[in-house]
Structure 1
């Protein structure tokens, strides 16, 4: 396991064997690192610490101290990722999942199990079938037709682990399976690009949810992607609800109305317009006119974003892992330093998160 982790972390960092040796001030040779990666030798504790520092990963990542076995990450083959992207994200996912499983182990919790809406994956005959599939998923999960206030929270409740990280601009997100020791089910993870707007991240989560319920053998690759896109729009903007809000047919749309609607459904303005076209509220010419006038530039620049750029990735971020860490800390199952290590934040910030805002009692009693 140490061998695989060193290799992955080195690929993530983009180092050659010689680069890594130099980064470690030549504490060990490139040949020695090669032996570590091939499993022909095991680094000493001092070398392991130096490797972790040079590779900017935790020692825990390089050497599992909880007896957890993570054998790798299986990416959805249709994800638009290069081998370099995958090495980077695989390291991030494995380290994060390992910390996640550690806190569940400390609290003696079974890892939250993915609760799919159907016993088997759904086969689609055509792209348009994903409209009905989105309706079925909502029905199975008893969501009704109202807008979903928090997609991340919903998916975490259903046992999917959601990770928000920086990804290349061309990658909005993807699903992967983290395999564990034999006999333990794989952990499905949805990875989303932190650099994208909240509106786009929500659509990505819904898109990747589609890939967790659609049988990948149903449609050719490109058609499956289109089906997942249609599913995402239908899941976040149910036809029945949207028709009540805008009417069955429109010949014109206004800027303020569209902004109010995108805020209601918490989706991108461009996705909203495309959805209105999909369900027949507007036709192709009205859609084209909108993108040339009031919605000009919306395909590349989100109007009146729900989340300011300076807090990108904060709203609707995954909360369960953080919550479990603070639970363990409050119950003295972990120390402040261990909680800081798990959360990867400074110790004073962890302490502030535990104690909350401090009131000056002298001023309070005056």
Structure 2
């Protein structure tokens, strides 16, 4: 376990074996680091501490064993994502999941069942099939047709670990199955970048959800990422509900309507325009014309973005992990210092969270 964690952390930091050896304090040879990574030799406590400091990772990351492997990783990224970026993201995700699973173990929480067991499929052969699966999952989760107030809250309620982390700029999210050590059951995780706006955050979560439901595509006439986007659009903006709001067929739509609808559903203006076309409300030529004219910059510049703490934006923050930490703290299963370590917050802030603000 240490060897694999050390290798991931070294790649994240961009060091060769020799490069890491050169910055180590206390000194250690490149040959010794190679043996640590191969699990042929264990470092002393002093060297282990030095490795963590040189690589910018915690000892929890290097030594914990809750996460054995991240399987089936699907990145939502730009084409320019480097191997170093991928290693950095994997290290961040592993460290965050170690803390999350540690607090669940402390509280002895029963593992959640597979939320996708009855709907997961090997592949879809059309975009309409991807949309049908989104509708089916909404029905299975008893969501009705109304907009989803919080994608993060919904996924956490269904047993998916949701983590918001500081990723490189060219990675907005990923999904994976977390393989745990021993005989502990696997768990699902969706991780998104803290840097993206509310609209993109919600769509990325729905897109990563699609990757947990649909393993692939069948045939050359369908593209995987386009199918995932179709699922995401249908999950966030059900066609039947959209038709109820704007009508079955339209020749065009006003800017004011789009802004109102994007705030209502919590999606980007570009995603909403695409959705109007996919639902058959706007003809294809009207959507194409919009992206060539007034909407030509919408894919990169969001018009009138939703603010983080306004409307739907106020609900798109992970709550479960923090709540579990304070629960363990209130039940005296962990110390305030351990809570501060898990939440990465100052001890004074943790104590205020226990007792309330001074003078209250």
Structure 2 length as normaliser, TM-score? 0.90
8 A contact 1:233–1:275 mirrored in 2: yes
Q: Deviations over 1:65-121 (max 9, x none)?
A: xxx453221234676554323311221122111111111111111233332261652
8 A contact 2:173–2:193 mirrored in 1: yes
| Residue 70 (str. 1) matches residue 67 (str. 2) | yes
Aligned ranges 1:45-84 → 2 under 5 Å: 45-64=45-64, 68-76=65-73, 80=77, 82-84=82-84
8 A contact 2:74–2:211 mirrored in 1: no
Counterpart of 1:353 in structure 2 is 353
Task: Output the CA distance in 2 between the equivalents of 1:88 and 1:220.
Answer: 33
Task: Output the CA distance in 2 between the equivalents of 1:210 and 1:186.
Answer: 18
8 A contact 2:25–2:50 mirrored in 1: no
Counterpart of 1:181 in structure 2 is 181
Give 1:191 shift.
2.0
**Count of aligned pairs between the two proteins:** 354
Q: What stretches of structure 2 of length at least 5 have no aligned partner? A: none
Task: Output the CA distance in 2 between the equivalents of 1:323 and 1:161.
Answer: 13
Counterpart of 2:208 in structure 1 is 208
8 A contact 2:8–2:91 mirrored in 1: yes
Task: Output the CA distance in 1 between the equivalents of 2:177 and 2:235.
Answer: 23
Counterpart of 1:10 in structure 2 is 10
Q: What stretches of structure 1 of length at least 5 have no aligned partner? A: 361-366
Give 1:246 shift.
1.0
Give 1:232 shift.
0.6
Counterpart of 1:97 in structure 2 is 97
Counterpart of 1:266 in structure 2 is 266
Counterpart of 1:243 in structure 2 is 243
Deviates more, 1:52-61 or 1:173-182: 173-182
Give 1:301 shift.
0.7
Q: Deviations over 1:182-216 (max 9, x none)?
A: 53332221122222211111111111111211242
8 A contact 2:151–2:205 mirrored in 1: yes
Q: Deviations over 1:31-54 (max 9, x none)?
A: 322221122221111221121122
8 A contact 1:161–1:190 mirrored in 2: yes
Deviates more, 1:280-289 or 1:299-308: 280-289
What RMSD over aligned residues (CA atoms) do the two structures have, in Å? 2.4
Task: Output the CA distance in 1 between the equivalents of 2:181 and 2:222.
Answer: 34
> Tell me, what secondary structure is at the counterpart of 1:110?
coil
8 A contact 2:175–2:191 mirrored in 1: yes
Deviates more, 1:200-209 or 1:166-175: 166-175
Counterpart of 2:192 in structure 1 is 192
Counterpart of 1:341 in structure 2 is 341
Q: Deviations over 1:1-50 (max 9, x none)?
A: 11211111111111222332333345323332222112222111122112
> Tell me, what secondary structure is at the counterpart of 1:172?
strand
Structure 1 length as normaliser, TM-score? 0.88
Task: Output the CA distance in 1 between the equivalents of 2:116 and 2:221.
Answer: 22
Give 1:277 shift.
1.1
